[in-house]
Amino acid sequence: MQQPVYENIEATFSPQNLKDEIVKGLENSQACISPKFLYDKLGSHLFTAITYLPEYYPTVTEREIFLKFKEEIALSMGSNHCLIDLGAGNCQKAESIFDAIKPSTYVAVDFSIEYLQEVLPKLQGKYPEIKMMGVGMDFSNHLSLPTSIPNIQRNFFYPGSSIGNFSQTQAGHLLDQIKSSSDQGGLLLGVDLMKEDAVLLNAYDDPLKLTAAFNLNILRVVNTLINSNFNVKDFRHTITINHPMQRVELYLEALRDVTVSWANGTRSFKAGELIHTENSHKYSVTSIQALLKASGFSRFKTWTDSKDYFALIYAQ
Ligand SMILES: C[S@@+](CC[C@H](N)C(=O)[O-])C[C@H]1O[C@@H](n2cnc3c(N)ncnc32)[C@H](O)[C@@H]1O
């Protein structure tokens, strides 16, 4: 049976760089941990579980758009291309459009390498006609694709509104790099649109507490990477909707006074103090197109769902 090829861009996630990044964040007056650390193997499984929640509208809604407009999307993207899925996760979204867009090569890029190695062989088994490649990479600073990725028409795929985890400046930097690597292809981008608070609160603080488990797991990831002694029981998941910044913010709140240590460092948290773990920026169709234009994209096809919760844009 055909097996996917793997390549890790190790320079983007050297263990020392990851440690330094975590310690720097913990030593900030507003402690923070980058959201990419939410995704070890368990975190990726927890995120996949979240996508099955009816409250987590981004997945449900994006799926509705794919189903309704699959043929139009395929017409815009063309066929026989190389589909590069950024932050591929369980690869289910790409799989849902394989039949329509018929890529000749599928490249799944993700920081969560163990999870990628679990899901990609199964996908390859189902689609032996598509050449598949897994790329382990942290693209938060730099998108450096392996030279072995075919130079045929490259279509990037960045669904799930993962772009919302970045600030506008960081998002613009990533879009610049996508534009310059996309050859004659383009970018199929999923973006979450601003909506009423109740929907956001239910999605990011769900009643089954899956998002809480997903967020708290970041402390275990940090313990593994910097050998610290966070106790998950000392913190709780909490969110804020920051209207001026048009984003949902995820935090872990200390339930009591705690001191956390690691080699060469400690950090004390007062009860109620917060660790910032994720931003999820929301856009309007106009504001995301403006960001895409600033990166050199000039032609857009845009599809939205019946409630205008989410937009899918093919940009060239
Ligand atoms: C919100 S999930 C989206 C998964 C899937 N694309 C979807 O839409 O359901 C974000 C994915 O991006 C990956 N990811 C997050 N930050 C990353 C980074 N800096 N570099 C590479 N992958 C990253 C995570 O491991 C995770 O699989």
- What pairs with residue 186 in β-bridges? 155
What is the gyration radius of the CA atoms in the chain, in angstroms?
Answer: 19
Instruction: Show the DSSP H helices in the chain as ranges.
Output: 15-27, 41-51, 57-77, 92-101, 113-126, 168-181, 197-204, 210-226, 285-294
* Cα–Cα distance measured from residue 212 to residue 27, given in angstroms and rounded to the nearest whole number: 23
> How does pLDDT run along the chain (316 residues), one tens digit per residue?
789 999 999 889 999 999 999 999 999 999 999 999 999 999 999 999 999 999 999 999 999 999 999 999 999 998 879 999 999 999 999 999 999 999 999 999 999 999 999 999 999 999 999 999 999 999 999 998 999 998 788 999 999 999 999 999 999 999 999 999 997 899 999 999 999 999 999 999 999 999 999 999 999 999 999 999 999 999 999 999 999 999 999 999 999 999 999 999 999 999 999 999 999 999 999 999 999 999 999 999 999 999 999 999 999 9
Give residue 210 CA to ligand 1 midpoint distance, Å: 17
* Ligand 1 lined by 153 (C-beta under 6 Å): no
pLDDT value of position 184: 84
Ligand 1 site, residue 51, Cβ cutoff 6 A:
yes
Picking from 151, 155, 145, the residue whose alpha carbon sits closest to that of residue 187 is 155
Cβ atoms of 159 and 190 within 8 Å: the answer is yes
pLDDT value of position 143: 95
Cα(256) to centroid of ligand 1, in Å?
A: 32
Beta-carbon contacts of 225 under 8 Å, excluding residues fewer than 6 positions away, are 15, 18, 19, 22, 37
Q: Is the CB of 158 under 6 A from ligand 1?
A: no
> Which structural domains are found in the chain, ordered by start?
15-38+196-281 (no CATH), 46-194+282-315 (3.40.50.150)
Contact 137, 166 (CB under 8 A): no
H or E stretch including 272? Answer: none
Please report the atom of ligand 1 found closest to the CA of residue 159. 8
User: How many C-beta neighbours within 10 Å does residue 11 have?
Assistant: 11
What's residue 1's pLDDT? 72
Closest CA to 194 of 24, 275, 309: 309
For atom 7 of ligand 1, the residue with the nearest CA is: 160
134 lines ligand 1 (CB under 6 A): no
Q: What is the pLDDT, as a whole number, of residue 137?
A: 96
pTM of the model: 0.97
Q: For position 2, what pLDDT does the model report?
A: 82
As a whole number of angstroms, the distance between CA 65 and CA 248 comes to 23
Spatial contact of 239 and 201, defined as CB atoms under 8 Å apart: yes
Residue 230 beta carbon below 6 angstroms from any ligand 1 atom: no
Angle in degrees, CA 249, 252, 256, rounded to 5: 145
pLDDT of residue 80: 79
247 Cβ inside 6 Å of ligand 1: no
* Nearest Cα to Cα of residue 213 among 24, 17, 45: 45
CB atoms within 10 A of CB 272: 10
CA of 140, closest atom in ligand 1:
19
58 lines ligand 1 (CB under 6 A): no
Q: Given ligand 1 and candidates 36, 38, 117, 177, which is best to mutate, with the most ligand atoms within 8 Å of its CB?
A: 36
Distance between CA atoms of residues 221 and 227, nearest Å = 9
- 97 Cβ neighbours under 8 A, 6+ residues apart: 66, 70, 73, 74
Q: Which residue(s) pair with 254 in the sheet?
A: 235
Structure tokens at 278: 């994720």
Q: How many H-runs (helices) and E-runs (strands) does the chain carry?
A: 9, 13
Q: What is the reported pLDDT for 126?
A: 97
* Residue 38 CA to ligand 1 centre (angstroms): 9
